[in-house]
Amino acid sequence: MGVYFTGGERLQRGRGIGGLLKVASKLFTPLALLAKKAVSSETGKQVLSAVKKQAINSSINIANDIASGKTVKDSLDTEFANVKQQSKRKAIELGAGFLQHTKQPKTSSKKSKSKKKKKNQIDIFR
């Protein structure tokens, strides 16, 4: 025995949660592809490695500060200042390294083009 609906016509208005998910996927897919391309490049790998090392060092520094009796707020403030300074320095180093590794355009020597005579070919479709 089935369940009967006695409240009149069933109408669905709007697209529901599927419509929202579709819009979200169309919005974030290009961003995800761009991030994937940036991370997979050599420079992106170097940047991620530097960020990972900096995060580890920062967490160790904050833990040491808290263990020595500093407040969390003071420890975070000093660490943010250190991270800002170190990230600027590291960005300059990576940028300089990137510029050195880029290929310089080769200067091509101009060769005289020899003129070849075309043989008169007979075209049967004229």
Per residue in 5-34, pLDDT (tens digit) is 666 666 666 677 888 888 888 989 988 998
C-alpha 72/C-alpha 62 separation (Å) is 8
Structural domain boundaries, residue 89: 41-100
Once rounded to an integer, what is the mean pLDDT over residues 48-69?
91
Within-domain flag for 67? yes
Do the domain assignments include residue 125? Answer: no
The domain total for the chain is 1
pTM of the prediction?
A: 0.49
Q: Is residue 71 a part of any domain in this protein?
A: yes
Domain annotation covers residue 24: no
Distance CA 68, CA 64 (A): 6
